[in-house]
Structure 1
Amino acid sequence: MAYDKPRDDHSAEKADYLKEPATRTIPDQDVIRHQPQWFRAALAHAPESRRLTVDGAEIHYLRWGPENRDDDPERPGLLFVHGNGAHAHWFAFIAPLLAMHYNVASMDLGGMGDSDWRLAYSRDSFAREIGEVALAAGLGPKPVIVGHSFGAFVSLIAAKHYGEKLGGLILCDFTIRPPGERREWFLDGPERKPTRIYPDLETAKARFRLAPLQPCGNGFILDYIGPLSLREVSKGETRGRRTFEETGWTWKFDPTIFNGLAMGSDHAEIYRNLACRGATMFGLDSKDYEPGQIDFLRQLAPDKPVFTIPGAQHHIMLDQPHAFAAAVGAVMAQWHAEGALE
């Protein structure tokens, strides 16, 4: 399994990914830095920034309605949930591609992005945040949750608790394994060190990396999400359990989230027994794409489709944004036609 966060050169990462080189490389001259027209048009469809208090913490999310039309909160909708250490803007160029037909939101999980930091985190605290935002954001009678990587894991837990109020769950590049193959991403590792504070924004921006490490030909997307992964902090400022000892720039995530965070061994049971629709998407070139595990998923829940996106590694929405949006839209259209979103 994998998760994503802006990589700091002294932070502990998922060991089995860092020991291996990226599966392929992209020559610098082939990395696209100029923002194409579709991307600029998507960002021009600006969302509304909102906050919702969940269990004492303010959770930030972005909300898109139809462009140049009155918003209709009864339209079917979906909520994007980012991966480890990422943030809502990872979907700011995806959401407008779907907003013509659906209300769309993208949230910052607690301790990440522009949401508050907590004194303690658990899979259930994240699940509560996801479920409450999904129901409060005006995403129709039965919203669909689309979770990527770590966000898929906690979205699965949210669907366990909120499934009867949801239209469906789409897991993106997250592997559900048989109970006997339980893997804990965080329990066996060392405690995460505090993120480094850089003296200026330019120095910090230069440290942005995808994790798990992979090349991305759409450099213009990395140039967009990288700076939005950083915040300026002041000496003496306190967030969660950390008081910053110097002024500068650092990443928008709380590394204490993952100290002792238990994932559990009940994922297969939860997925099989969801009270809402379910589907799973993988990047065809992702290290998380394992044909044997795909077979297990299909046997576990024959009613829940499993499919791949060619040309995509773990970060599907960065590698193949249009194919990612089209796949989500196709699943949404099917579930809408079947009445699951009403």
Structure 2
Amino acid sequence: MHQKPGAPQYVAPPEWLLRAVSAPSISHFVQHPDVRLHYRSWNASDANKPVLLFAHGYRANSHWWDFIAPYFIDHYRVFAMDFSGMGESGPRAQYSPEAFTEDLTVILETDLGPATVIAHSYGGLRTLRACADRPDLIQHAIILDSRVRFLDVDSGQTISTPSPRSGSTQLHPSYEAIRQRYRVLPEQPLPLYDLFEHVAFHSIEEVEGGWRWRADSALPYTLVECDGSALLGRIDVPVDYVYGEGSSVVEPWRAERIASLLRYSRGAICIPQGHHHLMLDQPLTLVAVLRALLNNRPA
């Protein structure tokens, strides 16, 4: 069985990428009655700085922020979390939208909140729910390309229940074999190979008998928040909404509607040439947008 390389196998990494991924981080774990949760920090000892927490999308992990988060340590105490069943967080016996929101609030309650939260895709939906349910834990949220459903236009499920599992229990014979199968969903143009290589490397692990994805195979295919209007209408926390111009998940009209329903929003912010996974195809633009939003945070 071939061994996993000791580090991602970059081809031509730019200096900014190497500088970011070279920033040291440490792991933290918090034991909840239902699950052991993992999160990482880059500068946890900087207690005089406000907290900034990054939350990833579905079936991803905290390493998706490795080339984004370090650019904020000068002004923030920076953390990134793993939702249950993903990354280094443990699996749950049963998954639900409420359980994933609980992951976020448990980590914030441990010693981070109240915090600013930057969240992508499904992590953004869980953050919106936390903004509505636990506004004491979140001072400001920035939501990245999260699809909020609306009852009057979105058909399908009408309740927040799990769908069939999304993962495969298949083990692969080598790191190289499983690495060749790695894809992001939805697929999109990925102009910089080394970013893709970095997230792929951290999404694969060796177990007895072979190699597998670093996500629980029992994770449902999706968990739906159905009534977006009701959810957004309950939020009193300042929330900014950012989406990609070429996103296959969030249409421009949907982004505008989401922003219009948020009580303290500065409108939908579109990243030109960005797709759903903004940190992969427009990383430096994303850093610039996030810095601008954080530096001019609404009161």
CA–CA separation in structure 2 for the residues paired with 1:102 and 1:183: 41
Change over 3 Å in CA distance of 1:193–1:59 after alignment to 2:
closer
Question: Any idea what the Cα deviations from partners look like across 1:29-79, whole Å, max 9, x if unmatched?
Answer: xxx93111111111121111111112331111111228xxxx322412221
Corresponding residue for residue 91 of structure 2 = 117
Corresponding residue for residue 292 of structure 1 = 253
Which amino acid in the other structure matches residue 77 of structure 1? V
Paired residues of 1:216 and 1:318 also in contact (CA < 8 A) = yes
Tell me the TM-score normalised to structure 2 length: 0.88
Which segment is superposed worse, 93-102 or 268-277? 268-277
Corresponding residue for residue 13 of structure 1 = none
Instruction: Provide the aligned C-alpha RMSD in A.
Output: 2.3
Corresponding residue for residue 165 of structure 1 = 137
Corresponding residue for residue 49 of structure 1 = 27
Aligned: 1:81 with 2:59: no
Determine helix, strand or coil for the equivalent of 1:147. strand
Paired residues of 1:176 and 1:297 also in contact (CA < 8 A) = yes
Alignment partner for residue 311 of structure 1, among 250, 266, 273?
A: 273
For residue 295 of structure 1, report the CA deviation from its aligned partner: 3.4
Change over 3 Å in CA distance of 1:289–1:192 after alignment to 2:
closer
CA–CA separation in structure 2 for the residues paired with 1:281 and 1:184: 25
CA–CA separation in structure 2 for the residues paired with 1:160 and 1:181: 23
Aligned: 1:277 with 2:238: yes
Corresponding residue for residue 148 of structure 2 = 176
User: Mapping of 1:76-155 within 5 angstroms?
Assistant: 76-138=50-112, 142-155=114-127
| Structure 1 portions without partners, runs of 5+ | 1-31, 235-246
Question: Any idea what the Cα deviations from partners look like across 1:273-326, whole Å, max 9, x if unmatched?
Answer: 213111111011112342322332343236312101112111001111111122
Determine helix, strand or coil for the equivalent of 2:296. helix
CA–CA separation in structure 2 for the residues paired with 1:209 and 1:262: 21
Change over 3 Å in CA distance of 1:136–1:73 after alignment to 2:
farther
Aligned: 1:207 with 2:181: yes
- Give the total of aligned pairs: 287
For residue 269 of structure 1, report the CA deviation from its aligned partner: 2.0
Which amino acid in the other structure matches residue 151 of structure 1? G
CA–CA separation in structure 2 for the residues paired with 1:329 and 1:134: 22
Corresponding residue for residue 322 of structure 1 = 284
Corresponding residue for residue 196 of structure 1 = 170
Paired residues of 2:30 and 2:38 also in contact (CA < 8 A) = yes
Corresponding residue for residue 72 of structure 1 = 46
| Structure 2 portions without partners, runs of 5+ | 1-9
State, as a whole percentage, how many aligned pairs show the same letter. 26
Paired residues of 1:184 and 1:264 also in contact (CA < 8 A) = no
Select the structure with the greater relative contact order (CA < 8 A; seq sep ≥ 6).
Answer: 1
CA–CA separation in structure 2 for the residues paired with 1:221 and 1:262: 27
Paired residues of 2:271 and 2:285 also in contact (CA < 8 A) = yes
Change over 3 Å in CA distance of 1:262–1:192 after alignment to 2:
closer
Which amino acid in the other structure matches residue 230 of structure 2? E
